[in-house]
Amino acid sequence: MAERYIGLISGTSMDAVDAVLVEFAADAPMRVVATCAQTLDEDLRQELLDLSQGSTGLALAKLGELDYRVAQVFADAALRVLDHAGMGAQDVRAIGSHGQTLYHAPDAAYPFSLQIGDPNIIAARTGITTVADFRRRDLALGGQGAPLVPAFHHALFYSDSENRCVVNIGGIANITLLAKDGTRVTGFDTGPGNALLDQWAAAHLGKPFDEEGRWARTGHVLEMLLQQLANDPFFRRPPPKSTGREYFSPGWLRRQLEALTTPPSPADVQRTLCELTAQTIASAIDRFGPGDERVLLCGGGARNPVLAEAIAQALAPRPVTRTDDYGLQADWVEGCAFAWLAMRTINGQPGNLPAVTGAREAAVLGGVYAGRLE
């Protein structure tokens, strides 16, 4: 029988909660039933951004408040996508909620990854069993806890006729390498995706992002700055590896700019940050890919034409396209991934890939919070 799941994700861009209602059946392809994006209030978004960048301390009372407020937004998103589909709680097996990452520190002396958005509230408001806290079991097994989407990328985009690479560009960019010979799936975070671009646009345009890369297109790549940025040790580290806003933060960029002798044009910095994302993605694929890949772009960054063009140029002559051409709109890939991960958990199946995260073993991920009793 077909079963429906809802995937909820607010990524490192923190612009909205994406909600995707997905139908899975053993004898049919995955089907997206309905989608929606629930925007975060600007004051809530700014608080979360400040905290994720390590710029302020956090009182326990404030953490509890944010955990509650974020959960309400996630529950709103789930209820909206149900309404769009004309369905009720009884039509959905479970929700997979990624939560909102505040801090990701897999390489700390005491490794942890903190996501908020209390799943008890989501389950109580929707009446639907909710699966959450996906990352910490992998961390407990010595893994990075991220990225978790490569297992889903393999399930959906693997081909035995060509090598493929799926590039997910959220606040942080990650890649999944899919060799056509069926050898192990590999993937890792490559570095900043939209995070630095959005932060710089907010500081200089007063907008949450540079729409369609229009501002970046007015600038020029500053080669000296690009080389300086790309010289960060993270880019040279071999996988498994993951990162977040707490590392590639406004402070990180400010320190890089302060090392320059002449202050650059803000538009030139924006264009250079586009090139940094493109070059570090291309370098990772060149170094670890199986060769001659078809590259499939997804995530919010796939909608930025300047960034997409830079990636295509850096990877030429490889063909670069969006996942839209392969059955799933680029905006909804991550939401579908957490619906899929919830399905895996409900059915007692592992959701992580040790070859990706570095965990000692595969594991069933997350905790299950029961929905309304019948």
Please check whether residue 196 is in contact with residue 272, taking contact to mean a CB–CB distance below 8 angstroms: no
Identify whether 374 is part of a domain: no
**How far from chain centre, in Å, is Cα 295?**
17
Indicate the average pLDDT of the chain.
95
Clarify whether residues 271 and 293 are in a common domain: yes
116 and 100 share one domain? yes
Same domain (yes/no): 56, 167: no
Residue 54 has a pLDDT of 63
Give CA torsion, residues 18, 21, 26, 29, to 10 deg: -70
Quick one: angle between helices 195-205 and 250-258, nearest 10?
A: 70
Same domain, yes or no: 85 and 211: no
Say which range, 50-54, 79-83, 184-188, 200-204, has the weakest mean pLDDT.
Answer: 50-54
Q: What pLDDT was estimated at residue 58?
A: 77
The answer to whether residues 130 and 118 touch, using CB atoms and an 8 Å cutoff, is: no
137 and 194 fall within a common domain: no
The CATH number of whichever domain residue 185 belongs to comes to 3.30.420.40
pLDDT digits (tens, 9 = 90+) for 232-247: 999 999 999 999 988 9
* Helix (H) or strand (E) run with residue 270 in it: helix 266-288
**Is pLDDT of 55 > 60?**
no
pTM (global) more than 0.85: yes
pLDDT in tens, 124-161: 999 999 999 999 999 999 999 999 999 999 999 999 99
The predicted structure's pLDDT at residue 162: 95
Considering the domain architecture, whether residues 108 and 11 belong to the same structural domain is answered as: yes
Residue 337 lies in a domain: yes
Residues 233 and 282 in one domain: yes
DSSP percent split of the chain into helix, strand, coil, nearest 5? 45, 20, 35
288 in a domain, yes or no? yes
Please tell me the distance from the alpha carbon of residue 351 to that of residue 131, in angstroms, as a whole number: 12
**Angstrom distances, CA of residue 353 to CA of 133, 137, 167, 185:** 16, 12, 17, 8
Residue 271 domain-assigned (yes or no): yes
pLDDT tens for 4-43 read 999 999 977 787 899 999 999 988 899 999 999 999 998 9
Domain with 116, as residue range(s), is: 3-145+332-369
Query: 159 with 300, same domain?
Result: yes
Q: Is residue 182 domain-shared with residue 271, that is, in the same domain?
A: yes
- Structural domains of the chain, count: 2
Q: What is the mean pLDDT of residues 288-304?
A: 93
The answer to whether residues 307 and 189 belong to one domain is yes
**In-domain check, residue 313:** yes
> Of how many residues is the chain composed?
374
Examine the domain organization and report whether 236 and 342 are in the same domain. no
Is residue 350's pLDDT more than 90? Answer: yes
Residue 26 belongs to a domain? yes
Q: What are the beta bridge partners of residue 20?
A: 7, 35
**Rounded CA gap, 94 and 83, in Å?**
16
Q: Same domain, yes or no, for 353 and 237?
A: no
